[in-house]
């Protein structure tokens, strides 16, 4: 059995906030306006995992009204959801992600982001695709008002995992 999940996240940007993408600190003058650390990529990964198994969304699991999640490390939130996914007998096969940001240019950070996401998910780095797109100076991303990420994950039930 296989399942596909789609995740999306958007955060407004604000001067003076730290920018983390995929668990990697990115030097930039702006960072996300968020209740947690605002890691847009890890939030989209978490939502994709939840979506694949029809388990709700990140806002239901970690509401921004709960003080417990204030400034929370998004890697911790992802890990908590991943434990539930594994507990239901599912493994991540691969992950495909797009990060939308006018600036900073993400090409120098894509390898580190890919490796960190693979480590967090527990799959080889060659099963993680990280792509970066600008907003072409159009819309909130293009005007540097927001950052977004979209993620697709493929899950396979452990009973169906083929061993070489």
> pLDDT per residue over 4-52, tens digit each?
999 999 999 999 999 999 999 999 999 999 989 999 999 999 999 999 9
**Mean per-residue pLDDT for 116-145?**
97
| Tokens representing residue 97 in the block | 């992600």
pLDDT of residue 65: 87
Does the pLDDT at position 164 exceed 80? no
**Mean per-residue pLDDT for 113-139?**
97
Write down the residue that tokens 């527990």 correspond to: 122
Does the pLDDT at position 146 exceed 60? yes
Fold of 2-160: 60s Ribosomal Protein L30; Chain: A; (3.30.1330)
**Mean per-residue pLDDT for 82-99?**
98
**Residue extents of the structural domains in the chain:** 2-160
Distance CA 112, CA 110 (A): 6
Distance CA 90, CA 80 (A): 14
Does the pLDDT at position 66 exceed 90? no
**Mean per-residue pLDDT for 117-134?**
98
pLDDT of residue 160: 65
pTM above 0.85, yes or no: yes
The conformational region for residue 124 under phi > 0 = left, psi -120 to 50 = alpha, else beta, is beta
CB distance 77 to 61 below 8 Å: yes
**Mean per-residue pLDDT for 130-150?**
97
The count of C-alpha atoms lying within 13 angstroms of the C-alpha of 102, restricted to the half-sphere facing its C-beta, is: 16
* Length of the chain (residues): 164
**Mean per-residue pLDDT for 104-120?**
97
């Amino acid at each position: 059995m296989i399942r596909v999940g789609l995740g999306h996240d958007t955060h407004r940007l604000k001067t003076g906030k730290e920018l983390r993408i995929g668990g990697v600190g990115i030097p930039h003058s702006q960072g996300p306006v968020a209740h947690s650390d605002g890691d847009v990529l890890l939030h989209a990964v978490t939502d994709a995992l939840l979506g694949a198994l029809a388990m709700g969304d990140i806002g239901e699991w970690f509401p921004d009204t709960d003080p417990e999640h204030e400034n929370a490390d998004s890697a911790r939130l992802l890990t908590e959801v991943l434990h539930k996914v594994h507990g239901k007998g599912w493994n991540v096969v691969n992950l495909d992600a797009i990060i939308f940001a006018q600036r900073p240019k993400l090409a120098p950070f894509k390898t580190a982001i890919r490796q960190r996401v693979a480590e967090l998910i527990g799959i080889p780095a060659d099963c993680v695709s990280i792509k970066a797109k600008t907003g072409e100076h159009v819309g909130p991303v293009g005007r540097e008002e927001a950052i977004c990420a979209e993620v697709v994950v493929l899950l396979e039930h452990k009973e169906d995992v083929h061993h070489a």
